[in-house]
Structure 1
């Protein structure tokens, strides 16, 4: 298995951060297999979603509606509403797997791979990319 850590700067704002090109670079020329994308953080997730046409903003708006940044959360250290960031990975998991065919991601026409991060207290993330070659 080929594996590597990808540093990602998500910044101090809620974000949907595109990592599709980095994933393409990682598997380029690898043949057939499976790309597994994992963010080893308790407050971030991985989404396969259309980006750049407003869907990323819609996702953040939906998460704000579902998980408001207020004082209702028992997990309450950090900025106001920080506990919601710990609930988010139950909705947007910290991983995704994508088939790789002939060294290319088998994504749909409008699909991208993104890190979803509501935690404004942690602007630096890592993403573990792992490629499992087919037999």
Structure 2
């Protein structure tokens, strides 16, 4: 298995960051297999969604409705409502596995690989790309 870690700056507000081009660069020329994308953080996830047409903003809005930033959370360190960030990985998993065919990720036309980060307290994330040859 081949693996690398990239650093992603997500900023101080909830964000959806497109990782697709960096993932394509990682698998380029590797043949057939599986790409596994993993974020080793307790407050971020990986989503396969359309970007650029508003879906990324819609996702953040939906997460705000399901996981509001208020004082209901028992986990209370960090900024107000930070407990919701620790619940996020139960809704947006911290990983995704994707088929790679002939050195290209087999995504659908409008699909992108995205890092979802609602935690403005942690502005820098690590993401691990792993390739398992098939």
User: Does TM-score exceed 0.5, indicating one fold?
Assistant: yes
Question: In structure 2, how many angstroms separate the alpha carbons of the residues matched to 1:80 and 1:20?
Answer: 31
TM-score (norm 1): 0.99
SS at structure 1 position matched to 2:132: strand
How far off is 1:123 after superposition?
Answer: 0.3
Residue matched to 2:3: 3
Q: Which runs of 4+ in 1 moved over 6 A?
A: none
Secondary structure of the corresponding residue to residue 3 of structure 2: strand
In structure 1, C-alpha distance between the alignment counterparts of 2:11 and 2:36, rounded to whole Å: 24
What CA RMSD, in Å, does the superposition of the two structures yield over aligned residues?
0.3
* Aligned match of 1:47: 47
Return the offset for 1:122. 0.1
In the alignment, structure 1 residue 103 sits paired with structure 2 residue 103 = yes
- Segments of 5+ residues of structure 2 without an aligned counterpart are none
1:125 deviation in Å? 0.2
SS at match of 2:25: helix
Could you tell me which residue of structure 1 aligns to residue 123 of structure 2?
Answer: 123
* Aligned length in residues: 134
| Structure 1: runs of 5 or more not aligned | none
Q: Does 1:32 align with 2:24?
A: no
